[in-house]
Amino acid sequence: MADVEELQGLYQDALDLHEQGEFQAAAGLYEKILARFPDADLVLYNLGLALYEQKKFAGAAAAFLRAAKINGDDPDYWFNAGLSLKQDGRFEEATAAYEQAAVLKPDDADIPYNLGCCLQAAGNVRAAARAYEKVLELVPDHASALGNLACCVHRSGDHGRAAQLYRRLLALQPDHASARYMLDALSGKNTAAPPPEYVQDLFDGYAGNFEHDLLENLSYRVPLLLAALLKNTIGPGTGVMRVLDLGCGTGLAGAAMASWAAHLTGVDLSANMMAAAREKGCYDQLFVGDVIDVMHALDQPFDLLLAADVLTYLGDLRPLFNAAATSVIPGGLFCFSTEKGEKDDWLLRSTGRYAHHRRYICRMAEEHGWEKVEMRTARIRKEGDDWVFGNLFLLRKK
């Protein structure tokens, strides 16, 4: 009896610590209880919650799955297992967990919504679209599901339906900047730049599967192509340059260019992308923010600016070239890629990305004090089964 009372007191202490935000201490007490009662599914569930709050997603998933194995009829166990597995990058297992939760609680819109987010992060946009459609059957005005469904339909190539969905979202939220921007892209309106929240939301949501999708599904080649361009024009890296990686994303370009850098700084709008870049260990400094704002704020000039797939999210390049010109030493370098434009100075494509004509780039360079060192055309990534052609530039500050 005394043991039972002691454990009850321990459990109450754990719950109190949990409520106070002392998640590590609470987890320690939950584990003490489970050492005596390993089949206490509610304790396992609370342990999973405490581990999740500490971003220990693998441990959280294991706790929730153990709870679900003991009591498979509780949808919350399966749902939280799905959340943890997705955060751990285990998309297939997360999908199975969400699907089990949906069987147990078919009228809960949160379950198909998170299933859709998981499938979308894994690159399965058609299955994700079906999940979002289920959400909208349950909650017709679910704006997040509507926006994600529009994105999935857009990516699958059904531009007409995507435009209808963006209009439906704008009817719900007239100030939804991302929906307005994508509708402009589909309608042929040449907007000068995307709203920052569009870029931030796009890459925050894409961070978990970004590298796998780019490298495995889209055959993305820009960082390696830019590294080859540098090597062939200025020679192999000797680790003596101060390098600023604009729009560094998960750090693919920084890793490819690290041999040239004595000091490597990265900047990106997406905090989730930045977290992945930090794990690569090749950056000396990282800043979350708009690349142009950060260039104006940094007071020490760089030897080399990198911009792999940054100009594809900007139409009018004057602000970028103006900031870049003030951010390098005399004789400093600017190495970047564009999607190849054929007619206009710049064009917002139906993909939501911009293409730039090489003559426009050369004019911007001349106006802002740069000279062209090298320019090459290359296949930079795939769009469906087709290659997207881009231009690779290396400029030197006069």
Task: Tell me: do 12 and 99 sit in the same domain.
Answer: yes
Residue 362 maps to a domain = yes
For residue 195, the model assigns a pLDDT of 87
Do residues 246 and 172 both lie within one domain? no
Q: Do 297 and 337 belong to one domain?
A: yes
Q: What does the DSSP 8-state code read for residue 341?
A: P
Instruction: Tell me whether residue 202 is in a domain.
Output: no
DSSP string, 306-317: EESS-GGG-S--
SS3 335: strand
State CA 12 to chain mean position distance: 39
| Residue 301 belongs to a domain | yes
Residue at 385 is within a domain: yes
**If 0-12 CB within 10 Å is exposed, 13-18 middle and 19+ buried, where does residue 126 land?**
exposed
Residue 312 and residue 169 share a domain: no
Same-domain status, 149 and 296? no
Average pLDDT, the chain: 92
Q: Which of 128, 163, 197 is the last residue of a domain?
A: 197
Give backbone dihedrals phi and psi of 246, rounded to 5 degrees, phi first: -85, 130
Q: How far apart are the first and last CA of the chain?
A: 84
Q: Tell me, yes or no, whether 107 and 135 share the same domain.
A: yes
Residue type, 154: H
Amino acid at 32: K
Type of residue numbered 349: R
296 & 377 share domain: yes
Is residue 203 in some structural domain? no
pLDDT band at 117 (very low <50, low <70, confident <90, very high): very high
Note whether residue 40 is domain-resident. yes
Question: 36 and 71, same structural domain?
Answer: yes
pLDDT at 2 over 50: no
**Within a 10 A sphere around the Cβ of 224, how many other Cβ atoms?**
13
Q: Are residues 186 and 220 in the same domain?
A: no
Q: What is the average pLDDT across 70-99?
A: 96
Is residue 204 domain-resident? no
- 370 assigned to some structural domain: yes
Burial class (CB in 10 A: 0-12, 13-18, 19+), 330: exposed
Tell me the two tokens of residue 69.
Answer: 């194995």
CATH of the domain at 32: 1.25.40.10
pLDDT value for 207: 59
pLDDT per position as a tens digit, 153-209: 998 999 999 999 999 999 999 999 999 999 999 998 888 888 888 888 777 766 566
CATH number at residue 318: 3.40.50.150
Fill in the amino acid letter for 116: G
- State the pLDDT at residue 386: 87
Q: Are residues 250 and 393 part of one domain?
A: yes
Residue 88 has pLDDT above 60, yes or no: yes
- Given pLDDT bands bounded at 50, 70 and 90, which one contains residue 114? very high
E strand intervals along 252-343: 261-268, 285-288, 302-307, 328-340
Domain boundary among 197, 231, 249: 197
Number of domains forming the structure of the chain: 2
Q: Distances from the Cα of 223 to the Cαs of 206, 332, 337, in angstroms? A: 18, 19, 9
Whether the Cβ atoms of residue 207 and residue 269 lie closer than 8 Å to each other: no
C-alpha–C-alpha distance, residues 94 and 92, integer Å = 5
Range of the domain at 53: 2-197
Domain boundary among 173, 197, 221: 197
Distance between CA atoms of residues 99 and 114, nearest Å = 10
Among candidates 158, 161, 109, which has minimal Cα distance to 132?
109
Residues 289 and 393 in one domain: yes
pLDDT tens digits, 25-79: 999 999 999 999 999 999 999 999 999 999 999 999 999 999 999 999 999 999 9
Q: How far is CA 137 from CA 1, 59, 107, 133, 155, in A?
A: 52, 34, 10, 6, 22
Q: Is the pLDDT of residue 91 over 80?
A: yes
For the chain, what is the radius of gyration of the CA atoms?
Answer: 25
Q: Looking at the structure, do residues 113 and 237 belong to the same domain, yes or no?
A: no
Give me the DSSP letters along 168-187: HHHHH-TT-HHHHHHHHHHH
How does pLDDT run across 321-359, given as a tens digit for each residue? 999 999 999 999 999 999 999 888 999 999 999 999 999
